[in-house]
Amino acid sequence: MNIAVVGTGYVGLVTGTCLAETGNTVTCVDINVEKVKKMKAGEVPIYEPHLDVLFHRNIKAGRLSFTSNLAEAVKEAKIIFLALPTPPGEDGSADLSYILGVAKDLGKIITDYKVIVDKSTVPVGTANKVREMVLESMKQNPYFNTEAERTAAFDVVSNPEFLREGFAVDDFLKPDRVVIGTSSERAKKLMDELYKPYVRQGNPIIFMDEKSAELTKYAANAFLATKITFMNEIANLCERLGADVDMVRIGIGSDDRIGKRFLFPGIGYGGSCFPKDVQALSKSANEVNYDFNLLNAVMKVNENQKTIIIPKIKRYYNNNLKGKHFALWGLAFKPDTDDIREAPALYLIEELLAEGATVCAFDPEAMTNVKNLLGDKISFAENSYDTLAQADALIIATEWSQFRTPDFEKVGSLLKNKVIFDGRNVYSNDLMQKLGFHYESIGRNKVTQ
């Protein structure tokens, strides 16, 4: 099947590459000419495990190509995926200008039946807005003369993505479920044909109406964000009561009704999805006069959680961080990505600098993005150990695997003092006690020497 994917961010590039992997011919479109040039030359613009292998293989096989020309990309395509950014506006609502802008362009250039797929995370009712925009724009299209011809020339489908950064390739190739919102039997047949190779093990393709599909994505992310936030609240309570959040987590996670995932406490969620989607769902609720109290609380708690480790640091240094120098391990919002959108590490850095401290950071993948954002406000190291020289303490903000079992003797010898503030509970209290570190984490008793 010929497919066009408009937008080559995390969702668009993974979608296009993985669709090519099962034999489809995919053209990815991006208005950034320089980015397109680099992708044509074989440069993967994002870090996502295993994506590079599929990317190069499908380019070589001639199934994956790139262009900045929308008309060229959609000419032969049966299905057009819109994988465009929907950043939050000042009021928290999702900005649909990119999606509606492309919808307007599509109405002018399509010449035969197309399925237009909203792959971006969009508010309920977006499929209708896209449909209306395409229809209005088609009035300028000489290929279609009547309203009936225009209406029959395309369908708009909602097909939300459920990709986890760091696992996006596996999630696409082996999805838990595929959600497709459409009222068109013609579109349903094409989408079913497209996705069947990915659900051979029996996971469902779930068809529903467009609005339900749009809300399903927001509901899923909001629920997971709530689960994380609830566990962070429990962790904060554990500290006051003298309980151990790790034991509580294991105790409740063994209940099948609750499950083990998304119960790890830390310094809050970040990234491109949870913050934006929770905010957008709350805004959508407000627009229909529904006060979504739970989501409002989730946002408030998460905002506070991002810097919850700062008071611990300040207490240790008697509320004076001026002149203190900190090593920071981790900048990405989570491991196995270079995404720093809403990364808690950035909030920690901002607070530390405001208190007069300095920071030297290391992250396996995200340093270039942070350098572009912060410039020389902090320093960067070539590896994790190089951050430690002359540092008063180590702060852990992202739980990369390589941080889990460092040479602790080397860590202790490089730091001015054996002090670790762990925002991700990477180490055990028993180990830190044994090794002689002062160690403070989230939801557990602090280790003192």
Q: Which residues are catalytic?
A: 273
Residues 175 and 162 sit within 8 Å (Cβ to Cβ): yes
Task: Report the distance separating Cα 20 and Cα 339, nearest Å.
Answer: 24
What are the start-end ranges of the E strands in 224-354? 325-329
Instruction: Tell me how many degrees the CA angle 291-91-103 measures, rounded to the nearest 5.
Output: 105
Q: Which residues contact 89 (CB under 8 A, 6 or more apart)?
A: 95
Task: Report the distance separating Cα 83 and Cα 125, nearest Å.
Answer: 17
Task: Report the distance separating Cα 359 and Cα 348, nearest Å.
Answer: 10
Q: Which residues contact 256 (CB under 8 A, 6 or more apart)?
A: none
Instruction: Please state, as a whole number, how many other Cβ atoms lie within 10 Å of the Cβ of residue 327.
Output: 26
C-alpha closest to that of 110 among 134, 145, 136: 134
Residue 97 DSSP SS3: helix
- What count of residues does the chain have? 449
Q: Which two tokens stand for residue 279?
A: 């905010």
Task: Report the distance separating Cα 5 and Cα 438, nearest Å.
Answer: 51
Q: Which residues contact 373 (CB under 8 A, 6 or more apart)?
A: 340, 346
C-alpha closest to that of 362 among 395, 339, 320, 393: 395
Residue 269: which region, alpha, beta or left (left: phi > 0; alpha: psi -120 to 50)?
Answer: beta
Q: Which residues contact 335 (CB under 8 A, 6 or more apart)?
A: 166, 398, 399, 400, 401
Local structure of residue 95 (DSSP, 8 states):
-
Task: Report the distance separating Cα 271 and Cα 372, nearest Å.
Answer: 17
Separation of CA 428 from chain center: 28
Task: Report the distance separating Cα 217 and Cα 161, nearest Å.
Answer: 7
Task: Report the distance separating Cα 317 and Cα 92, nearest Å.
Answer: 37
Task: Report the distance separating Cα 252 and Cα 244, nearest Å.
Answer: 13
